[in-house]
Amino acid sequence: MSKRLGVIVWSPHLIYEGISKVLDNLEEAGVTDIAAIAQVAEPAADAASGRREPPDDGNCGGGRLIDRPVWGKHEAFIHVEPSYQFDPHFYKGQRYTPNSGGNLTKEKGHIIGDFLSEVKRRGMGAYLQVQVCHVPEVDPNSSSVPEISDSTPLMPDGTVASNRIYSFASIASDDVRAYACSELRDLYAAYPMIDGFVLDRSEQSFYTLDDVFLDFGEAARKKAIEYGFPFEDMRRKAQEIYSGIASVDPTVLSAIREPQDMCEFIGECFRRDPLIAEILAFRSKLVETYLEELRRAADSANPGLKLISTVYPPMMSMLTGVDFSFMPKYVDAVHLKFFTMHWSMIVTCWAEQLMKMNPGLKESDVVRFVSLLFDFEDSTKASLLDYRYPEPDEAHIAGSGALVRKIREAEREVRGSIPVYSFPHGYGPLDDVRRRFNICWDNSKDGMWVNRYGYLSDEKLGILGALRKD
């Protein structure tokens, strides 16, 4: 089977450029699959009444711009509404129901259905991208501390994490799971022409240090008991580790200088504290059982629906709870999320918190430790200044060798039973985008998807077209 090439598209460009223009551009670039988002947008009156496009990633990427303008601008504040009116039948008796549409839904909502129908008419794969780690009452792009509910992930001491980039809900919560499963059924009823769903954020978060100490809320406690995990022991160990971070031995970090040093350090942590493996296994069990529920929901709507899970690659997957070996049981393909502008943000978030908790740590040791932990680079740098969120004209820190290693490891773990697609982001300067696209395409035997059409200038579309012709 020939390689597939997919692109995520959402409504601002469909409205501004037109459906035919967008699809003509993508067809010329050799795109075989497209995923839309069930939302429509219009310019907001001001910043206070809309959200930024592109998103600023927790105030880290405020200089980020899109390549293809919307309403004549490379940065805009937009008002967003759902593209369809939800069917309350699917949410009967549940805690959460989707936000209702307004005038924008009535006037422009048809665009998503029109687009997906035209995608199918042109012989391309048609998907909807769905975030499955959110609930309507919480803005996932907000870093503000939410009110505590059963859907709120909690720290080991029972508090809400204050250091987060995105406010993801707890995937241990039955309310969150029921909402996401109902949303899949509802969306398929509204858009029966689709081939399947691209599941975004079906894993645990790791953007900040606090993220990896979630979740020890009531929903997680119930699930741990159900699955046979020692919840209280894990909670106490997690709190002990978190508290212990405030007294890190500087010599430990300074000794970790190469990937092999990091492997030995991780191995020693597991040998010294067996409960660490239990905590990570529990995180993984939550991801697996959630995917199992999403699979059943999709099958109940249409057994032929495909599920593509967008997940972070190794070594990040160690903390997000993704075991690639179980993925083939629940999904039809995997996206390896190479949103590499986030990698420098992650180094910064982790390093700043580690140094705040440990003022005596050497900055170069801390940033090297975080970069090696996640295998972000082929050669680490020495200063936080080297890990700032990249401006539109700045290359990303992602090492070429690191990208290949992550692809190879994920492919090895799924053992060829499902496609593994690289999923690079189109944000960045032309030469660096070409480098990342070429690496992902050349080293992914099944192909790749790209996020998003708005970042694909005509020159970047040309890069994609060249990949298909080579």
The total number of structural domains that make up the chain: 1
Dump the DSSP string for 373-405. Answer: HHT--SS--S-GGGGSPPPTTS-----HHHHHH
User: What local confidence, expressed as pLDDT, does residue 130 receive?
Assistant: 98
Strands (E), 38-97: 39-43, 51-53, 76-82
d(CA 340, CA 436): 9
The helix/strand/coil state of 29 is: coil
**pLDDT for 144:** 54
Q: Which pTM value belongs to this model?
A: 0.95
Which amino acid is present at 348?
T
Distance (Å, whole) CA 322 – CA 343: 18
Tokens in use for 236? Answer: 């106490």
**Distance from C-alpha of 19 to C-alpha of 139, rounded to nearest angstrom:** 28
User: Residue 275 corresponds to which tokens in the numbers above?
Assistant: 């409960």
Residue 306 backbone phi and psi in degrees, to 5: -90, 145
Q: Which of 380-397 are b and which e, b meaning 16 or more Cβ less than 10 Å from the residue's Cβ?
A: bbeebebbbbbebeeebb
Q: What is the CATH number of the domain that holds 431?
A: 3.20.20.80
Residue 208: name the closest of 320, 111, 129 by CA: 320
Both tokens of residue 446? Answer: 């099944």
Residue 33 DSSP one-character state: E
What distance in Å separates the CA atoms of residue 345 and residue 143, rounded to the nearest whole number?
14
Write out the two tokens for 462: 């040309």
Tell the burial category of 41 from Cβ atoms under 10 Å away from its Cβ (0-12, 13-18, 19+): buried
Give the end-to-end CA distance of the chain in Å, rounded to a whole number: 16
pLDDT given at position 146:
54
Pairing of strands 39-43, 76-82: antiparallel
Name the residue among 3, 100, 142, 110 with its Cα closest to residue 468.
3
C-alpha 384/C-alpha 367 separation (Å) is 7
pLDDT tens digits in sequence order for the chain, 470 residues long: 489 999 999 999 999 999 999 999 999 999 999 999 999 999 998 777 788 999 988 888 889 999 999 999 999 999 999 999 999 999 999 999 999 999 999 999 999 999 999 999 999 999 999 999 988 865 555 555 556 777 889 999 999 998 888 888 999 999 999 999 999 999 999 999 999 999 999 999 999 999 999 999 999 999 999 999 999 999 999 999 999 999 999 999 999 999 999 999 999 999 999 999 999 999 999 999 999 999 999 999 999 999 999 999 999 999 999 999 999 999 999 999 999 999 999 999 999 999 999 999 999 999 999 999 999 999 999 999 999 999 999 999 999 999 999 999 999 999 999 999 999 999 999 999 999 999 999 999 999 999 999 999 999 999 999 998 76
Q: Which two tokens stand for residue 117?
A: 């129908």
Answer yes or no: are the C-beta atoms of 92 and 109 closer than 8 Å: no
Q: Report the DSSP pairing between strands 333-338 and 306-311.
A: parallel
Which one, of 370, 355, 349, 319, lies nearest residue 214 by Cα?
319
Domain span at 326: 4-469
In a 13 Å sphere around the CA of 240, the CA atoms on its Cβ side amount to 10
Smallest CA-to-CA distance from 349 within 211, 246, 252, 248 is with 211
Q: Would strands 33-36 and 4-8 be described as parallel, antiparallel, or unpaired? A: parallel
Q: Quick one: 123 exposed, middle or buried, by C-beta within 10 A (0-12, 13-18, 19+)?
A: exposed
Q: Nearest to residue 420, comparing CAs of 406, 404, 435, 407? A: 407
Cα 470 from Cα 458, distance rounded (Å): 19
What's the confidence (pLDDT) of residue 149? 77
Residue with tokens 């080293």: 443
Instruction: Give the single-character DSSP code of 70.
Output: B
| Residue (of 128, 131, 132) closest to 197 by Cα position | 128
Which two three-digit tokens encode residue 7?
């692109």
CA 140, CA 191: separation in Å to the nearest integer? 24
